Copies of this chain bind each other. A is one copy, B any other.
């Protein structure tokens, strides 16, 4: 069908991950899928981009309704390169990123390569949605989430997202009660490192997630801990407009 929407899919776990295969399987029911995803694991890459070193785009497979490319860069590189090469004349109708193996709710979104890929679509004015499961296993069980993922993709195909805003969708493992729009919880990672036994000046990242407002009911963390899909609209523009309203004069020197 000539008029099927084109859906570009990327992720940060690599083009061979289970999560991206499952997302592509859902998306193929709604449009023609083009995957451009990292060759290898790119978790925690945020919106990092690669300068100076050439990036290679490789066609991995092609079948009716789905073409798969790999790219040896970051998630944001994959999307940038896809736009420049495959979608130079006509943008895709939708960009999806994920399904990430692990939550990207709250402050995790800052570090997430899954979000980095979707943010790149958003910057280029393509409706973009990141999907993440709280489950971290190699094989994801997304049965209960499928109807929600379908519904969110369908509504974004029918009505594009506002320019400069993308969706950060996270879903819990197992029973799901509903899906809710919500805000990012205020959180951080603490006690983050473990020193190496044989080299006390070397440290490996570890730590635990600290929700600073576990009792706020309007956050993504609250939703996830109550078996609810969290849909957080996030913006490219991080300007603190409230701060600007309070500081609307030129800075005085001295």
Chain A residues in the interface with B (C-beta under 8 A): 43-58, 74, 76-77, 80-81, 83-85, 107, 109-111, 116, 119, 123-124, 147-148, 151-152, 155, 162, 164-165, 178-184, 186, 188-189, 191-193, 196, 199, 201-205, 229, 231-241, 243-244, 247-254
Contacts and interface: CB of A to CB of B under 8 A. Distances in A.
Q: How many copies of the chain does the oligomer comprise? A: 2
A156 to B, nearest CB: 11
B238 A180 contact: no
Nearest to A154: B254
Contact of A191 (B84, B148, B244, B253): B84
A110 B191 CA distance: 26
Nearest to A169: B251
Contacts of A252: 151
B48 A48 contact: yes
A29 B240 CA distance: 29
Contacts of A123: 107, 110, 188
The 8 closest A-B pairs by CB, nearest first: A233-B243, A46-B46, A233-B240, A46-B47, A179-B251, A234-B238, A54-B202, A183-B239
Contacts of A202: 54-57
A181 B44 contact: no
Contacts of A249: 181
A254 B147 CA distance: 8
A184 B236 CA distance: 10
